Structure 1
């Protein structure tokens, strides 16, 4: 009887509560979401889109959180895409220094699905990269790119067209379908970050191809207001200068002078020269001397004979104790970086590579002596990669 009484009493209480008028729910606080579309690592070729400008914009916006393009699982291991310079070298260090929350939001298919769909793992690097696997910007327009380039939708007309048009052969449609699914899940993780920072500002730094699809998915979501970066405004020249870092300038110089970008000839020589001037004033070390010598050779202001002397002096000056100040290498077991076949070499080693580049066909023995000595200083895996790149990028120049 007691049990039955308790059950009836409980039911009566529940029915009474159900009969009460529902309390009006408060509208969620509105979170501003600013989607900054970027061209990965293009900050290294365009002065208007340079790393310090991005850092200054983040400071000007003062977000409570920044969403970065990497899946949470990889981000937790401090594992980034190689080519997302703007994330691991600008945004993440700045956010951590300023106490800004970081919210990884990307999604990629499991490796098994990559193999099933593409007959290969698109996330696995080959032991020796093909020339096209190194990042470069051969288009002259890349040098004129501004910080808010993606805010003008006309600049993304080609990808908009690709997204909306199904190919005639459905069997070739996996890249587009995967893009749509990936971007949808990206938007859901961004929405979750916006809810976690209700009433604040969330900056999203993402490859520009994803920008408008993300914004369309977020549009109309309660508690989210999408704001264009251009509505915030560009940072001033003074604000940009305040965010100068030596590593930013080393990255700019190395990308344009030592990476495959140099071979394209598509370099803002005036800006790169001013970058070198600043680096020289700050510390005219062996690394800067290497970069200045390479700049002079590419510009034709130094003879081959003078460059050979300079590279020998740089190698001796640096010795075996001076690593690169910045090189963009994520996998130290490789000899390359995402933009430079010889990116993971010390300054003295790289000076010897550039010396060999200056030798003529009649100096094959001297070139081979340099190659053999360098290969011995590397691990077996690095040496195999080194020899492959040497044959393709140094020997063929003779």
Structure 2
């Protein structure tokens, strides 16, 4: 049952290109403009109806348009129940309007189809177009108006297919941008690691040799009673040791954990382990001071999923001052905290934050880290726990 719920929830999730709202108004605006341009003609048709049907059609039409606008305004909501309810309501309003206007005016459903296609996943949107066109065709055939309705069926089919292709194109472009960003972030991390490694191996080795040789020279001079020369050698030895410590500190700084780097590496790690990863494509919304710490949280969550959970799917969600890592592993018992989780708790405590470790509503491992409101800057926490 839990697997079925997850499948339905994923079906009604917003398309990936809507996350972050980068192209929200590009696709939604096209749908709205196309639909609004057809409204004047729709109300002309309604005006030719019988008085009793006209009142109902006008009322339903106004509600239909208003609800479509509401759907656009709430298009990015992550609640799959709300999204499913909006889709069903919008289609029901469109069907009621067609019922009063007649099957020969089924083109008014274009508005509903365009909005649903723009704000739902392609698989679901395509199914909606097929079901709507098939239902209209059956109704037209049984009522004997298939000839008058054929143009509407072709219009709905062509517009639906065109809109789906447009959305797929937008999704492909968005995915290319995200892939480019991930590659760039991963390249930066690799370059920092390479530079740190070369710095440690080459300069670190030379300074270690100088320190050891200088120490040996100082001891020889001290044994031979040449105190002045020994003092100079001791000063050179101290300088060499300090330089070696500075190099090691620089190397540690270049190997700092970053949230973008951890997310860039997580995709490869999860794919290698046969786990489907649902990862954020950007970290811009996360408070800059929280990114390094959240990088450790993501790393620990990924490591746990790969090593212990037996999960098939893992999701990482980010907010201004929080991060959630959850998987669908089969485990349901209490979770024993290892050194990694205890270390994370200490890191979070140093920043005044909290770390929650437990099971999700459907089982699996759930890790949530949250920093104080001082890191929030008034941003809304949209996480649904």
Q: Normalising by structure 2, what TM-score?
A: 0.28
Q: Normalising by structure 1, what TM-score?
A: 0.28
Higher helix share: 2
**Larger Cα-atom Rg:** 2
Structure possessing the higher relative contact order (Cα contacts under 8 Å, 6 or more residues apart) = 1
